[in-house]
Structure 1
Amino acid sequence: MLESGMSVSMDNAANLIGRYASNQPNAKTLIFGSHQDTVPNGGKYDGILGVVAPLALIHYFNQNNITFPYHIDVIAFSDEEGTRFQSTLLGSKAISGIFDPAMLDAKDAQQVSLYDALVDFGCQPELIERDAYVADDVLGFVELHIEQGPQLESAKLPVGVVSAITGIERHTITIHGKAGHAGTVPMNNRQDALVGASHVITLFDQLCKSDKDLVGVIGKIENFPNGVNVIPQRTDITVELRSPIDAKRVQARETFLKGVEQALTTLNLSYDHSQTYEQQAVQCSKTLSSKLVSAIEACGIESKTLFSGAGHDGLAVSSLTDIAMLFMRCTNGISHHPDEAILPEDLEASIKVLKEFCLAI
């Protein structure tokens, strides 16, 4: 950032912000950015690509003395994935003015709170609300991101424009059974929590496969006492459901929970359910998206529009300003995996598109 003629700051949510300043009085701000955190065993492009690539563009502008009637901020958001504290979009919520101070009470596996982690990092969490941008001062937010899917590769295109970002919700379900000796309790008399979990998992998988606008995963399972010859007494599972159409997601949730009740009652099992997270789907700005389409076509590339089945910082930033996203092709559509890969020519195409976009704005 410094080498590209930018001023640099870190806010109290640990976002790193570089500004390529305009020389115009009362200039507004165009924001580029993405996240620099990743998931366990993740790849090296999900998130950070959307920070480094805009910086390369700013470096080009600076070297060629190209200025704009607006500021350009590039933000490296501190925590989008929620891997450590299970509360997503920390950084983007902070700059958007929708950060909930209750998030600061969240604790990681070592019982370190988010508040303490931010303090250790040099932040003042109690001042996070002061770091929000003023909506009237912002032109919009644009994020470059690998597609994390196969559509652009199938279409033989380097980039595409995102129409909407999926809605997401997460749940935890704890199924209660009764422990017993695996060799002595008759099969028909058992209250096996893990068997109950298997019914729930199958139910959810079938539900998500019933509609192309639904995707989901039961990604985490914990079993107690987890003995080789002990009937499971308690099984905990996590449930994540996604859809770009909120009405479909809500209807699927209701169908799923009704099915869980029926299945576990039949198996003589009790359970506890808690919804831990919900993020509404967000539509991208038609105005900004059309400028991305024009920028793509100006680079001699066929334009393609697709929706994002993954969540992004734009979900939060949409509360502040109009958002747009540029997807870049990734090899085999692989993401959240060490095999994430991109082509150099796609990276070049993406930066050229962002250049044309900035000139058009």
Structure 2
Amino acid sequence: MALLQTDPGTVAAAARRVMARCDELARVTAADDGIERVYLSPEHARVNRLAAQWMREIGMTTRTDAAGNQVGRLERSTASGTPDPDAPALVIGSHLDTVPDAGRYDGIVGVLMGLEVVRMLREPAPDQAGWRSPLPFALEVVAFSDEEGTRFGKALLGSSAVAGTWDPQWWSLTDADGVSLREAFVEFGLDPGRVAEAARRPEELVGYLEAHIEQGPELDERGESLAVVSSIASARRFQLVVEGEARHAGGTPYDRRRDALLGASEAALAVERLCRAEHHMIGTVGRLETYPGAVNVVPGEAHLSLDLRGELDGERDRVWGAIERELDAIMGRRGLRWHAREVHSAPAVFCAPLLQDVVREGIVSTLDRGVDDPATIFSRAGHDAMAIGSVTDVGMLFLRNPDGISHHPDEAVSAGDVAYGTRALAESVLQLAADRA
């Protein structure tokens, strides 16, 4: 049963506002010919200020936390009508940072939809002096600051700080200009010694909801607008090095070559073959560099990346074992050596059954009467919910992304689907409130 009491015109206006603000944020970029916003940059500061302005416009109090995340909060009222700062919060969030040459909706649309949900659900305080949450919990919207990991090579920095899983070893990470994460914190106006203050305790939180474009084509192929997310992929990332011998390209016959590039290329093809044979397993070689890199020199060394994702941790690890054995065989045949360094590991995160249920009810409220079976999709892409899942229950809602393209300027979502998604997200919050009443 639908609980949201608002007219279609209000929802349509909310969607138009989301789309216009996505366009506005797209103009905050460090690149001359595309969208690029990275952690602890001037662009990060600018979008935080915009988000804070929009939060205050709908009655939220705002703060930038100790990791640079922008947080807005709408307090719950007590029985006497006074704000209750100790009330646990339902957090709605996503991220405002981007990859290089990004689209304008990945992460961003989820933050802006969260603000529209607050706008729809807030109620004036009894004394008419402000706004309060009419729900049995406070509402927070968080614009996370570094989901992509573009600048320092480590994803989920902002949400990891909120989850209390910040690793002190990260302070030595450096960007392409040699600036360390610690130095960037100080330059941004943050105190590295206080980053732990961003952490939230489980008792402070009711749960976490995130709306996000699907970064794949399943909804588009199904002809549906919205989906419940069941889980987020487990992931492991590696830097692989293949060692051969650099020799003169003209003077070295094939039987004497130890060509690191050919070994790395065969390895990349083996990754594709082994992963395609598995259910819900994706392996990607996204970077390949050779040394010394001269046109007339047989490559003596090759560096390649491997991004391995699976629905279940055990399946992912089993496939990595198969890849290791295949690389041993390839390099053995070619007289090469290889080694790997793991640079990222994240377990699969499963959305809480209750939050899956309320998201499903929210989606059903947008469907034609009698239709009650929205899509349920496993997310192959990573999200801030992965980090937040270590401190509270998480749930996610996907919006259709035509053709499924993302991390690219052609990334898209329609205003109509944003309207459906915003209504479904608001309905999900109400369904959760009813369950806790």
Q: TM-score range by the shorter chain?
A: over 0.9
Q: Structure 1 stretches of 5 or more lacking a match?
A: none
Residues in 2 aligned to 1:213 and 1:154: alpha-carbon distance in whole angstroms: 17
Report the secondary structure of 1:32's partner residue. strand
User: CA RMSD of the aligned region, Å?
Assistant: 1.3
Residues in 2 aligned to 1:287 and 1:63: alpha-carbon distance in whole angstroms: 26
Question: What residue is the counterpart of 2:60 in the other structure?
Answer: 6
The Cα of 1:146 is off from its aligned counterpart by 0.1
Decide whether the 8 Å contact of 2:123 with 2:134 is kept in 1. no
Residue 72 of structure 2, aligned match among 18, 27, 52: 18
1:41 matched to 2:101? The reply is yes
Question: What residue is the counterpart of 1:232 in the other structure?
Answer: 299
1:136 matched to 2:203? The reply is yes
The Cα of 1:98 is off from its aligned counterpart by 1.0
Question: Which is further off, 313-322 or 51-60?
Answer: 51-60
Question: What residue is the counterpart of 2:413 in the other structure?
Answer: 342
Question: What residue is the counterpart of 1:94 in the other structure?
Answer: 161
TM-score for the superposition, normalised by structure 2: 0.80
1:161 matched to 2:232? The reply is no
Question: What residue is the counterpart of 2:116 in the other structure?
Answer: 56
Report the secondary structure of 2:293's partner residue. coil
The Cα of 1:272 is off from its aligned counterpart by 2.6
Residue 216 of structure 2, aligned match among 126, 133, 149: 149
Question: What residue is the counterpart of 2:3 in the other structure?
Answer: none
Decide whether the 8 Å contact of 2:120 with 2:426 is kept in 1. no
Residue type at the aligned position of 1:212: H
Residue type at the aligned position of 2:245: K
The Cα of 1:186 is off from its aligned counterpart by 1.0
Question: What residue is the counterpart of 2:309 in the other structure?
Answer: 242
The Cα of 1:300 is off from its aligned counterpart by 2.6
The Cα of 1:75 is off from its aligned counterpart by 0.5
TM-score for the superposition, normalised by structure 1: 0.97
Question: Which is further off, 351-360 or 60-69?
Answer: 60-69
Residue 350 of structure 2, aligned match among 283, 297, 303: 283
Residue type at the aligned position of 1:263: I
Residue type at the aligned position of 1:335: S
The Cα of 1:291 is off from its aligned counterpart by 0.9
Alignment of 1:204-219 (within 5 A): 204-219=271-286
Decide whether the 8 Å contact of 1:225 with 1:233 is kept in 2. yes
Residues in 2 aligned to 1:188 and 1:40: alpha-carbon distance in whole angstroms: 42
Question: Which is further off, 295-304 or 260-269?
Answer: 295-304
Number of aligned positions between the proteins: 361
Report the secondary structure of 2:174's partner residue. coil
Residue type at the aligned position of 1:160: A
Report the secondary structure of 1:56's partner residue. helix
Alpha-carbon spacing, 1:337–1:63, altered in 2? closer, same or farther (3 Å): farther
Residues in 2 aligned to 1:122 and 1:163: alpha-carbon distance in whole angstroms: 38
Residues in 2 aligned to 1:150 and 1:261: alpha-carbon distance in whole angstroms: 35
Residues in 1 aligned to 2:352 and 2:123: alpha-carbon distance in whole angstroms: 31
Decide whether the 8 Å contact of 2:226 with 2:417 is kept in 1. yes
Report the secondary structure of 1:200's partner residue. helix
Residues in 2 aligned to 1:286 and 1:61: alpha-carbon distance in whole angstroms: 24
Residue type at the aligned position of 2:198: D
Question: What residue is the counterpart of 2:269 in the other structure?
Answer: 202
Residues in 2 aligned to 1:186 and 1:126: alpha-carbon distance in whole angstroms: 58
Question: What residue is the counterpart of 2:288 in the other structure?
Answer: 221
Residue 177 of structure 2, aligned match among 106, 110, 120: 110
Decide whether the 8 Å contact of 2:98 with 2:148 is kept in 1. yes
Residues in 2 aligned to 1:68 and 1:334: alpha-carbon distance in whole angstroms: 37
Q: Structure 2 stretches of 5 or more lacking a match?
A: 1-54, 79-83, 125-130
How high is the sequence identity, in percent, across the aligned residues? 37
Question: Which is further off, 127-136 or 337-346?
Answer: 127-136
Question: What residue is the counterpart of 1:83 in the other structure?
Answer: 150
Residue 194 of structure 2, aligned match among 117, 127, 135: 127
Residue type at the aligned position of 1:20: L
Residue 239 of structure 2, aligned match among 162, 165, 172: 172
Residues in 2 aligned to 1:155 and 1:204: alpha-carbon distance in whole angstroms: 29
Report the secondary structure of 1:60's partner residue. helix
Decide whether the 8 Å contact of 1:3 with 1:59 is kept in 2. no
